[in-house]
Structure 1
Amino acid sequence: METQTQQPAMPQLNRPAPDFIAKTTHGEKSLADYKGKWLVLFAHPSDFTPVCTTEFSAFATRADQFKELNTELLGLSIDSIHAHIAWTRSIKQNFGVEIPFPIIADLNMKVANAYGMIQPGASDTAAVRATFVIDPEGVLRAMLYYPMTNGRSVDEILRLVKSLQTSDEHGVATPEAWQPGEAVIVPPPHTDADAEARKDQGYEYTDWYFCKKAL
């Protein structure tokens, strides 16, 4: 009887992010190194590929904006340290963009497998364009998966970090495409009495379950 290979368990939202210790272009890094900071961990299929080059350039040019949000960037692909170094030097030479963040060399696919970055339907040997947002306590807060052929929006990832931090700080939700300065969504009430009182509480009231407010 043919036995099926068991796939690693996928990481889960609002659970501790999978731990790791890995070699990077900035020396050895571990998840514990980012304690107290937000972390955007993102995988790309391969060095010296055009879509990945556009993504890394976009992350690099927005690195200071992430840093203002107490957020670090960490790349990953199943390539060697030497390949990463050669590629980042090529990006600087050909595009004038210096990559300021470390890149994990995951030749044994240990980190990629732990984070579900290997999708057999796409490739057995390359990580898809997976992005993970991890909070200062090491809890996985968001996951985004893109196919090999299509690049991510780094601006959307930056917006997502701002949204998560706003929700944490103020106990609110954020609507579609929310940007800082816009109204946020008030959590809905949980009793009939609270629902009845909601329209008189000074919010932008549409219905008992849908209210907004300015921060």
Structure 2
Amino acid sequence: MLAARQFLRSSTTVACAFKAAPTLRSQSLLSQRFQSSVKFTQENQPRIRIGSLAPNFKAETTSGAIDFHEYIGDSWTILFSHPADFTPVCTTELGAFAALKPEFDQRNVKLIGLSAESAESHKAWISDIEDVSTHGAKFDYPIIADINKEVAFLYDMIDVEGWKNMNNKEPIFTVRSVFIIDPAKKVRLIMTYPASTGRNTSEVLRCVDALQVADNKGIATPVDWQLGQDVIIPPSVSDEAAKAKFGEFKTLKSYLRTTKV
């Protein structure tokens, strides 16, 4: 286990976003990696939009080395980042995703987390996560070790202050990014939270359901939609085509029709 697990406790500091100074070992690892890191510039940073090909990378994780596109394979994938190891909000989030993993498995979705620290640090952290946040479930998905900041750079997982430090030897704290990526390696949904705000894992699962149903049935989903509820027929589909495809439907407005799938 890592020697230092003290959190910053200033009342004016967002405690969930930051952790205490790294151990001597992790400081050494950071120094070694930063010595060989490339210059990060806005000109070289990919611009990721919905529909973009997810940038590929190779990285060490708690499950060993991966090629990201090979990891995705023919599955959907959720890539999500965390400000730092041994931080309270991140611990609750990673545990909640672990507890929901069977639901994601049913939907052919792989999970993969990221924090800008070493795989050794992540592995020590996992035991804490299992102690307090998984509701008895085993933590069973990888966490990327991004101490050289390359993945954070590729996916723009950094706020304004973090960007200022990208080319320094100081650790950075990634924001809470979420990328839902389909089997074609296309980015289908992006969420970005500040370090202080924990994510809603049920909302991430709901978005996966909405994307998959939309792909499979050619529909859209309304506000607050949950799996099993009525969906929206796109305006581009005529009434005749809608009846042939969906059977019965309700017309609320000429442009708003709902049906069941």
Secondary structure at 1:62 match in 2? helix
Cα distance between partner residues in 2 of 1:62 and 1:92: 13
Shift of 1:83: 0.8
Q: Deviations over 1:145-200 (max 9, x none)?
A: 0001010000000010011000000000001111111010000037xxx489989x
Q: Deviations over 1:133-152 (max 9, x none)?
A: 00011010000000010100
Residues 8-23 of structure 1: pairs in structure 2 closer than 5 A: 8-23=45-60
Unaligned ranges ≥5, structure 1: none
What is the TM-score when the length of structure 1 is the normalising length?
Answer: 0.89
Cα distance between partner residues in 1 of 2:131 and 2:78: 25
Shift of 1:33: 2.2
Choose 82-91 or 39-48, whichever is displaced more.
Answer: 82-91
Residues 83-98 of structure 1: pairs in structure 2 closer than 5 A: 83-95=121-133, 96-98=136-138
CA contact (8 A) 2:180 2:189 kept: yes
Cα distance between partner residues in 1 of 2:212 and 2:242: 25
Choose 139-148 or 85-94, whichever is displaced more.
Answer: 85-94
CA contact (8 A) 1:122 1:148 kept: no
Corresponding residue for residue 141 of structure 2: 101
Shift of 1:51: 0.4
Confirm or deny that 1:159 pairs with 2:213: no
CA contact (8 A) 2:117 2:147 kept: yes
Cα distance between partner residues in 1 of 2:61 and 2:242: 52
1:115 is aligned, of 155, 164, 168, to 155
Amino acid at match of 1:99: F
Corresponding residue for residue 183 of structure 2: 136
Corresponding residue for residue 259 of structure 2: 213
Cα distance between partner residues in 2 of 1:196 and 1:67: 37
Amino acid at match of 1:114: L
Shift of 1:82: 1.1
1:6 is aligned, of 36, 42, 51, to 42
Report percent identity of matched pairs.
40
CA contact (8 A) 1:189 1:195 kept: no
Q: Deviations over 1:95-152 (max 9, x none)?
A: 5553210000001111111011012246641110000000011010000000010100
The 1:202–1:92 alpha-carbon spacing in structure 2 relative to 1, beyond 3 Å, is: closer
Aligned length: 207
Amino acid at match of 1:53: T
